[in-house]
Chains A and B, each alone.
Chain A
């Protein structure tokens, strides 16, 4: 599946889409990037007069690129997929954070599949900044499938 098709399939949109581009997706992992534009709403409150990207948003960015984009690719590789309504749920996250991400920074996420069984995808994820420094890493998991309703 083409990377642009994967991004089209993502069920997010602004202000909660944290994927700008995907550089690489195969059955073992996905990598892509996102630029945190300075005018993003949450910088007004996190923190007062000191905008820093919240860890939950970094986790979400890792999940969208590393887990969901990879999940959409993996589902496209399985037979009998209707590809209509994507159903998914974030089920676990275990993250560690090393460096802050400030407004205007671009981050690069890469994931490595641990397993994809019975519609559960678990991955190791890493996020680096433009200086190739590790921003955060961890393990994320979720359930992902296309709905199988009958007409």
Chain B
């Protein structure tokens, strides 16, 4: 269930940053933030900052580089949460 919780919480974080032509229903675990969800790099930083607050974790530059898809984000969140 933990994974589903992360996923729903993450979708809620992403939603306000989606451009007008992308809806929350377009998000899937494989969605690429920039190429598929049309989120720009500046908004991706805001998503990361919101993720840090929501999950009480701190991300590094390497994590940011690896965070290409929704699944990547969930994996990073899980790694950070379990190593806390």
Contacts and interface: CB of A to CB of B under 8 A. Distances in A.
A, B bound: yes
Interface of A: 89, 91-92, 115, 117-120, 141-143
Contacts of B64: 118
Contacts, number: 25
Contacts of B48: 117-118
A142 B46 CA distance: 12
Interface string B57-68: 000010010000
A118 B63 CA distance: 10
A92 B45 CA distance: 13
Interface residues of B, number: 10
Q: Which of A92, A120, A141 has the most CB of B within 10 A?
A: A120
A117 to B, nearest CB: 6
Contacts of B42: 89, 91-92, 120, 141-143
B40 A118 contact: no
25 contacts: A89-B41, A89-B42, A91-B40, A91-B41, A91-B42, A91-B43, A92-B42, A115-B49, A117-B45, A117-B48, A117-B49, A118-B45, A118-B48, A118-B61, A118-B64, A119-B45, A120-B41, A120-B42, A120-B45, A120-B46, A141-B42, A142-B42, A143-B41, A143-B42, A143-B45
A143 B41 CA distance: 8
A117 B41 CA distance: 12
Contacts of B49: 115, 117
B51 to A, nearest CB: 12
B56 to A, nearest CB: 16
